[in-house]
């Protein structure tokens, strides 16, 4: 990434950090989205099980897309609508302008369509003399001020009522009171003639059904109903990935989309159009028409590219935006081009170019949360890593990212030269220099290095189990090895106390920073190396137990992905366990319940590191602490603490500063909670929470 | 296990700010409809997709109120229906789990009646309520099979709503701000 590119991004981040009013509104919106989703899932039979169904349906329909598209087109035409397959944005623009000219139409009412935004359709239509009006309230506000959507579902969430009132004052030329009921009356009145007089109604489609040739349009406001029923000519612009096979598939999407976005099932209105209805009697059969434009614009290439294909599973629910930590602070104008948020990186890369996506992809801190909330379980974190990787091939990696990717080597050196290294880390002047030169934030309290390392100490460790019941291959990762060998040894003792034979297989650090910063060549190499080293153990019946959540996530989730689910990586993943979930199980199996309730009377606030959400969400550690008498409360905002692995260790806007802004809301919760201390299993979250809250932060093992 | 859950349409519809009226007979349905029309002080009512008998019964009771009904002359639309204060349409079936009324039609005049009016009333039979959301699929397939060409199916789950300004839920921005379901059957 060139310096210039970085500077532009810095400026934008800086501006959002200085004026938090927009991001405060956005954060409220995101939280609402997450909360309502969670509440809806409580009442939905099967809970989150629908995600697997959506995933399967999308996999099947995209795999079969050429056939389904053909079937869809045949059925649409049978029902009397016309189909136009558009390769490029220019094709759509030309088709619409020609059609409007032929019909002598100059008034076009539009309901929300991200696909038309993708190709920036409004401007050229207006330049051709067509009066285009967005009728979804949020989109209309955005159109009137000539902005791009701030959020996928709530495009104008950053505009407060008084500002909106001003916008409509300008549009109507009449005074508008700055409260929502008054604004609504004005909007209804303003838009009514636009609906009634539209010659062309333009909609998107959330779904196309191959089986029946129907398109489904979802709205809450009902504007798409007006738009699709009044104008003589209806145009629907849809991405070709919206085609599903059956009515059942459509019903599934109609549920999954709003449940994920806003906890509704379904949106207030869903319009299933088959062909075009007449309006009233006596106009003759052909008076009204419907044109369905199926857009490619790079989708065929996406489908053919195994690294991009999953993007086509996106149903545009916006849930990933509701959870993405950095997008929540900087907003969709910075974290996005036209498509905002996590899916915005993927879709931008595919339809607006790698270069454009690369401009904001560094904002992704690879927390993995978007995948965990996505109804189609799209692996955005890895797709984004791929995008960063492709981008870096052209532009290289910025120095701070290189430093973080070399953290393992640095730690090795730091440990050997512990005294010197720690002196440097504790010396303000040297830290300032490091901040400036290599981008390690001077304001971070980084843990000191120790010598000997865990690995060296383990060599001298004699097995203390007489009749081992289980065999454990221990995976240690950077922190417990170089910074806190005591912690590693404590874990080993716990395992041994429960009759495990613990061995330390040869291993490298998990290498997650390679994924986070998009060096997939080295990520793959590390993954292959570790899998090769661990596979023989998995094969010999060893359970692999890891102490660091990100390392467990790497072994269980990332490596199989990086290694294309090969047999060895699957096997290693299947044998990988989180430490506490494993200890609990052993306690149950051996009947070896903890002897003392030594933590009785103590109350801890528990922090779930993001990567743990894909695993057991900390249930293992929480249960383990409770068995020892502790009172444990999970304290969470539903998103990240801001550290994002090593992201928050970096200096400046694209590091420490943004990281602290992300963490703010969580810090407040911890500070307000009545707890003795914070507990988390992640070594980096620990640094973040200690700095952000001023409270003590422990690893569960440190409490004994 | 999930299949056992029995959803209550009225309860789910009301959670979405709709108003459900369970009535034992068509006669009682007319009473209910008239009482809504009266309470809204409606001057004009638009009807569509309803059985003839019901149309006649409603019309009879609409003293001094303009009643629009099918067939709607194409040249009067959409303006004519835009005049109506209350729109009433017949509903093909409803989904209890999601509080959804499903309106089907081959003429968009019907859609305007349920979309443009400030107060909307959907009329359905109790027997036409399916339980789970996915139960709707089979009904839709049947309906679609009956029509080779044009057809529009509309899911209506409560009144028109938006949260686009400050995320505050506001009803009736474009469509009806009030949605009623009159459910006929014992
Ligand atoms: S991985 Fe995390 S930071 Fe990256 S896009 Fe997804 S939610 Fe955002
Ligand atoms: S990527 Fe997933 S969560 Fe994000 S908008 Fe698409 S479907 Fe929704």
Of chain A, the percentage scoring pLDDT greater than 70 comes to 98
State whether the Cα torsion A589-A595-A597-A598 is positive or negative.
negative
CA distances from A409 to A66, A404, A441, A511 (A): 49, 10, 18, 11
Is residue A264 classed as helix, strand or coil in its secondary structure?
Answer: coil
* pLDDT tens, residue by residue, B21-37: 999 999 999 999 999 99
Instruction: Please determine, for residue A475, whether its predicted confidence score (pLDDT) is greater than 90.
Output: yes
CA distance A214 to chain B (A): 9
* pLDDT tens, residue by residue, A347-358: 999 999 999 999
Sheet arrangement for strand A697-698: A631-634, A603-606, A677-679, A697-698
Neighbours of A416 (CB within 10 A): 14
* A-chain residues near B170 (CB < 8 A): 180-181, 184
Q: What are the two backbone dihedrals, phi and then psi, of residue A292, each rounded to the nearest 5 degrees?
A: -110, 115
Instruction: Please determine, for residue A237, whether its predicted confidence score (pLDDT) is greater than 70.
Output: yes
CB nearest to A180's CB, from B134, B140, B166:
B166
- CB of A495 within 8 Å of a chain B CB? The answer is no
* pLDDT tens, residue by residue, B112-156: 999 999 999 999 999 999 999 999 999 999 999 999 999 999 999
Q: What are the two backbone dihedrals, phi and then psi, of residue A435, each rounded to the nearest 5 degrees?
A: -55, -50
Span from the CA of A360 to the centroid of ligand 1 (angstroms): 12
Q: How many Cα atoms occupy the beta-carbon half-sphere of A523 within 13 Å?
A: 24
- The predicted model gives A452-468 an average pLDDT of 84
* A-chain residues near B152 (CB < 8 A): 229, 271-274, 277
Ligand nearest to the CA of A380: 1
Supply the CATH classification number for the domain A597-704: 3.40.50
Residue-level pLDDT at B2: 47
- CB of B157 within 8 Å of a chain A CB? The answer is yes
Flag whether B88 is in a domain: yes
Is pTM beyond 0.80 here?
Answer: yes
| DSSP conformation letters of A646-658 | TGGGB-SIIIIIH
Instruction: Please determine, for residue A448, whether its predicted confidence score (pLDDT) is greater than 90.
Output: no
* Chain A interface, best mutation among B108, B164, B168, B175, by max A CB count within 10 A: B164
* B-chain residues near A229 (CB < 8 A): 78, 108, 111-112, 115, 152
CATH number where B22 lies: 3.40.50.10420
- CB of A193 within 8 Å of a chain B CB? The answer is no
Higher pLDDT, A198 or A481: A198
Residue-level pLDDT at A415: 67
| DSSP conformation letters of A513-535 | HHHHTT-HHHHHHHHHHHHHHHH
The closest of A210, A213, A314 to A257, measured between CA atoms, is A314
* pLDDT tens, residue by residue, B153-174: 999 999 999 988 888 889 988 9
Q: How many structural domains comprise chain B?
A: 1
Are residues A581 and A610 in contact, defined by beta-carbon separation less than 8 angstroms?
no
Are residues A386 and A350 in contact, defined by beta-carbon separation less than 8 angstroms?
no
User: Which residue owns the Cα nearest ligand 1 atom 5?
Assistant: A342
Instruction: State how far the Cα of B52 lies from the Cα of B59, in Å rounded to an integer.
Output: 10
User: Which residue owns the Cα nearest ligand 2 atom 3?
Assistant: A374
Cα radius of gyration rounded to whole Å, chain A = 28
Among A residues 67-126, those touching chain B with beta carbons less than 8 Å apart? 78-80
Instruction: State how far the Cα of B80 lies from the Cα of A279, in Å rounded to an integer.
Output: 12
Q: What is the token pair recorded at B106?
A: 């081959």
Instruction: State how far the Cα of B131 lies from the Cα of A139, in Å rounded to an integer.
Output: 35
Instruction: State how far the Cα of A687 lies from the Cα of A387, in Å rounded to an integer.
Output: 29
Sheet arrangement for strand B86-90: B19-23, B178-184, B119-125, B86-90, B44-48, B66-68
- A369 CB within 6 A, ligand 1: yes
Q: What is the token pair recorded at A548?
A: 């660091």
- CB of B105 within 8 Å of a chain A CB? The answer is yes
DSSP state of A237: E
Instruction: State how far the Cα of A175 lies from the Cα of A198, in Å rounded to an integer.
Output: 26
Instruction: Please determine, for residue A631, whether its predicted confidence score (pLDDT) is greater than 70.
Output: yes
Domain holding B104, by residue range, is 9-184
Instruction: Please determine, for residue B5, whether its predicted confidence score (pLDDT) is greater than 90.
Output: no
Residue-level pLDDT at A2: 60
Flag whether B20 is in a domain: yes
Flag whether B22 is in a domain: yes
Task: Answer yes or no: do B107 and A278 touch at CB < 8 A.
Answer: yes
Supply the mean pLDDT for chain B: 95
Residue-level pLDDT at A413: 67
* Chain B interface, best mutation among A49, A76, A225, A234, by max B CB count within 10 A: A225
* Chain A interface, best mutation among B162, B171, B176, by max A CB count within 10 A: B162
Q: What is the token pair recorded at A488?
A: 């590693």
- Confidence grade of residue A560 (pLDDT, cut at 50, 70, 90): very high
Instruction: State how far the Cα of A300 lies from the Cα of A240, in Å rounded to an integer.
Output: 9
Flag whether B55 is in a domain: yes
**A221-234 b/e with 16+ CB inside 10 Å = b?**
bbbbbbbbbbbbbb
- The predicted model gives A88-106 an average pLDDT of 97
Flag whether B60 is in a domain: yes
Neighbours of A377 (CB within 10 A): 19
Where along chain A do its domains lie? Answer: 4-13+299-396, 44-295, 597-704
Of chain A, the percentage scoring pLDDT greater than 90 comes to 77
Q: What is the token pair recorded at A539?
A: 């094969």
* A-chain residues near B2 (CB < 8 A): 45-46
- The predicted model gives A410-435 an average pLDDT of 72
**A535-549 b/e with 16+ CB inside 10 Å = b?**
bebbeeebbbbbbbb
Residues with Cβ < 8 Å from B62, sequence gap 6 or more?
B34, B37, B45
Among A residues 234-273, those touching chain B with beta carbons less than 8 Å apart? 247-248, 251-252, 254-255, 262, 264-273
**Tokens 């209910």 sit at which residue?**
B32
* B-chain residues near A279 (CB < 8 A): 74, 77-78, 107-109, 112
Intrachain domains A44-295 and A597-704 with the same fold: yes
Flag whether B134 is in a domain: yes
Indicate the class that CATH gives domain A44-295: alpha beta
Instruction: Please determine, for residue A411, whether its predicted confidence score (pLDDT) is greater than 80.
Output: no
Among B residues 33-62, those touching chain A with beta carbons less than 8 Å apart? none
* pLDDT tens, residue by residue, A636-695: 998 999 999 889 988 888 899 999 999 999 999 999 999 999 999 999 999 999 999 999
Instruction: Please determine, for residue B1, whether its predicted confidence score (pLDDT) is greater than 70.
Output: no
Are residues A630 and A703 in contact, defined by beta-carbon separation less than 8 angstroms?
yes
Question: Residue B17 region, left (φ>0) first, then alpha (ψ -120 to 50), else beta?
Answer: left
Instruction: State how far the Cα of A111 lies from the Cα of A301, in Å rounded to an integer.
Output: 28
Which residue ranges have their beta carbon within 6 Å of ligand 2?
Answer: A 260, 314-320, 343, 373-376, 378
**Tokens 């639309």 sit at which residue?**
B77
A234 forms beta bridges with A201, A290
Q: What is the token pair recorded at B88?
A: 């009433």
Higher pLDDT, A276 or A482: A276
Instruction: Please determine, for residue A492, whether its predicted confidence score (pLDDT) is greater than 50.
Output: yes
Q: How many Cα atoms occupy the beta-carbon half-sphere of A589 within 13 Å?
A: 11
Flag whether B1 is in a domain: no
Which atom of ligand 1 lies nearest, measured to the CA of A341?
5
| DSSP conformation letters of A4-28 | HHHHHHHHHHHHHHH--HHHHHHHH
Instruction: State how far the Cα of A422 lies from the Cα of A410, in Å rounded to an integer.
Output: 12
* pLDDT tens, residue by residue, A595-621: 778 899 999 999 999 999 999 889 999
Task: Answer yes or no: do A268 and B141 touch at CB < 8 A.
Answer: no
Task: Answer yes or no: do A279 and B97 touch at CB < 8 A.
Answer: no
The closest of A122, A218, A112 to A155, measured between CA atoms, is A112
User: Which residue owns the Cα nearest ligand 1 atom 8?
Assistant: A324
Supply the CATH classification number for the domain A4-13+299-396: 1.10.1060.10
Instruction: State how far the Cα of B95 lies from the Cα of B178, in Å rounded to an integer.
Output: 19
CA distances from A32 to A37, A38, A219, A372 (A): 8, 10, 19, 17
User: Which residue owns the Cα nearest ligand 2 atom 4?
Assistant: A320
* pLDDT tens, residue by residue, A309-325: 999 999 999 999 999 99
Instruction: State how far the Cα of A553 lies from the Cα of A551, in Å rounded to an integer.
Output: 5
Flag whether B152 is in a domain: yes
CA distance B148 to chain A (A): 7
- The predicted model gives A83-102 an average pLDDT of 98
Q: What is the dihedral of CA A530, A532, A538, A543, to 10 degrees?
A: -10
Q: What is the token pair recorded at A242?
A: 């919206």
Supply the mean pLDDT for chain A: 92
- CB of B90 within 8 Å of a chain A CB? The answer is no
Are residues B65 and B44 in contact, defined by beta-carbon separation less than 8 angstroms?
yes
Residue-level pLDDT at A348: 97
């Amino acid at each position: 990434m060139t310096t210039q590119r970085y500077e532009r991004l810095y400026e934008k981040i800086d501006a959002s950090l200085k004026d938090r009013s927009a991001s405060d509104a956005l954060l409220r919106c995101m939280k609402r989205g997450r909360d309502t989703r969670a509440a809806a899932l409580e009442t939905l039979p099967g809970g989150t099980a629908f995600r697997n169904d959506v995933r399967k349906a999308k996999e099947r329909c995209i795999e079969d897309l050429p056939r389904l598209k053909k079937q869809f087109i045949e059925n649409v035409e049978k029902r009397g609508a016309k189909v136009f397959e558009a390769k490029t944005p220019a094709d759509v623009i030309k088709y619409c302008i020609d059609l409007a000219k032929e019909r002598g139409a100059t008034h076009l009412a539009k309901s929300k369509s991200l696909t038309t935004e993708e190709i920036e359709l409004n401007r050229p239509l207006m330049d051709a003399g067509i009066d285009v009006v967005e009728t979804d309230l949020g989109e209309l506000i955005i159109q009137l001020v000539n902005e791009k959507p701030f959020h996928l579902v709530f495009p104008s969430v950053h505009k407060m009522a008084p500002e909106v009132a001003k916008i409509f004052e300008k549009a109507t030329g009449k005074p508008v009171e700055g409260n929502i009921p008054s604004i609504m009356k004005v909007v209804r009145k303003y838009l009514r003639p636009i609906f009634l007089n539209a010659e062309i109604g333009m909609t998107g489609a959330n779904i196309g059904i191959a089986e029946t040739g129907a398109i489904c349009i979802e709205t809450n406001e009902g504007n798409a109903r007006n738009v699709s029923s009044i104008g003589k000519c209806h145009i629907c612009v849809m991405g070709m990935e919206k085609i599903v096979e059956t009515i059942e598939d459509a019903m599934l999407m109609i549920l999954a989309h709003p449940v994920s976005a806003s906890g509704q099932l379904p949106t207030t209105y869903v319009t299933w159009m088959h062909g075009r209805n007449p309006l009233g009697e006596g106009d003759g059969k052909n008076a009204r028409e419907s044109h369905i434009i199926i857009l490619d614009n790079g989708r065929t290439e996406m489908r053919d590219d195994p690294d991009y294909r999953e993007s086509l599973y996106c149903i545009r629910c916006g849930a990933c935006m509701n959870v993405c930590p950095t997008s929540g602070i900087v907003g969709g104008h910075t974290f996005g081009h036209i498509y905002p948020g996590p899916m915005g990186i993927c879709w931008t890369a595919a339809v607006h170019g790698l270069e454009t996506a690369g401009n904001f992809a560094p904002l992704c801190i690879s927390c993995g949360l978007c995948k965990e909330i996505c109804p189609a379980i799209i692996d955005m974190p890895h797709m984004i890593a791929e995008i960063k990787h492709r981008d870096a091939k052209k532009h290289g990696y910025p120095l701070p990212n290189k430093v973080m990717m070399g953290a393992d080597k640095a730690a090795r050196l730091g440990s050997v030269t512990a005294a010197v290294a720690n002196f440097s880390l504790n010396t303000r002047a040297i830290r300032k220099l490091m901040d400036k030169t290599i981008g390690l934030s001077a304001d971070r309290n980084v843990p000191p290095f120790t010598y000997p390392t865990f690995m060296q100490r383990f060599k001298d460790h004699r097995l203390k189990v007489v009749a081992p019941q289980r065999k454990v291959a221990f995976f240690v990762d950077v922190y417990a090895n170089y910074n806190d060998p005591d912690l590693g040894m404590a874990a080993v003792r716990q395992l041994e106390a429960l009759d495990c034979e613990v061995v330390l297989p040869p291993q490298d650090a998990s290498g997650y920073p390679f994924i986070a910063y998009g060096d997939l060549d080295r990520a793959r190499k590390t993954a292959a190396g570790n899998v090769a080293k661990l596979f023989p153990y998995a094969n010999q019946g060893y359970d692999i137990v890891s102490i660091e959540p990100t390392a467990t996530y790497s072994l269980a989730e990332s490596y199989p992905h990086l290694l294309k689910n090969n047999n060895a990586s699957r096997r290693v993943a299947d044998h990988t366990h989180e430490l506490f979930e494993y200890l609990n199980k052993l306690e149950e199996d051996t009947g070896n319940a903890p002897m003392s309730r030594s933590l009785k009377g103590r109350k801890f606030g528990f922090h779930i590191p993001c990567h743990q959400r894909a695993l057991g969400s900390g249930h293992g550690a929480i249960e383990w602490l409770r068995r020892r008498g502790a009172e444990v409360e999970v304290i969470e905002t539903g998103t990240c603490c801001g550290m994002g692995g090593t992201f928050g260790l970096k200096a400046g806007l694209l590091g420490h500063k943004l990281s602290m802004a992300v963490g703010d809301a969580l810090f407040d919760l911890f500070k307000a909670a009545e707890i003795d201390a914070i507990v988390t299993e992640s070594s980096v979250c620990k640094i973040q929470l200690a700095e952000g809250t001023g409270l003590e932060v422990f690893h569960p093992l440190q409490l004994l | 296990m999930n299949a056992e859950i029995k959803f209550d349409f009225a309860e789910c519809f009301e959670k979405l700010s709709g108003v459900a009226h369970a009535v034992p007979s068509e006669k009682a349905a007319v009473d209910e409809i008239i009482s809504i029309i009266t309470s809204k002080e409606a001057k004009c009512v638009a009807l569509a997709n309803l059985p003839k008998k019901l149309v006649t019964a409603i019309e009879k009771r609409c003293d001094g109120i303009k009643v629009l009904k099918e067939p709607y002359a194409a040249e009067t639309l959409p303006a004519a229906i835009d005049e109506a204060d209350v729109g009433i349409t017949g509903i093909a079936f409803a989904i209890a789990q999601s509080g959804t009324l499903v309106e089907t039609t081959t003429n968009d005049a019907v859609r305007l009646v349920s979309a443009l009016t400030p107060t909307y009333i959907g009329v359905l039979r109790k027997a036409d309520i399916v339980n789970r959301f996915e139960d709707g699929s089979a009904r839709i397939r049947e309906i679609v099979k009956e029509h080779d060409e044009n057809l529009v199916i509309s899911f209506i789950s409560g009144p028109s709503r938006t949260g686009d300004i400050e995320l505050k839920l506001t009803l009736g921005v474009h469509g009806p701000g009030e949605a009623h379901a009159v459910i006929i059957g014992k």
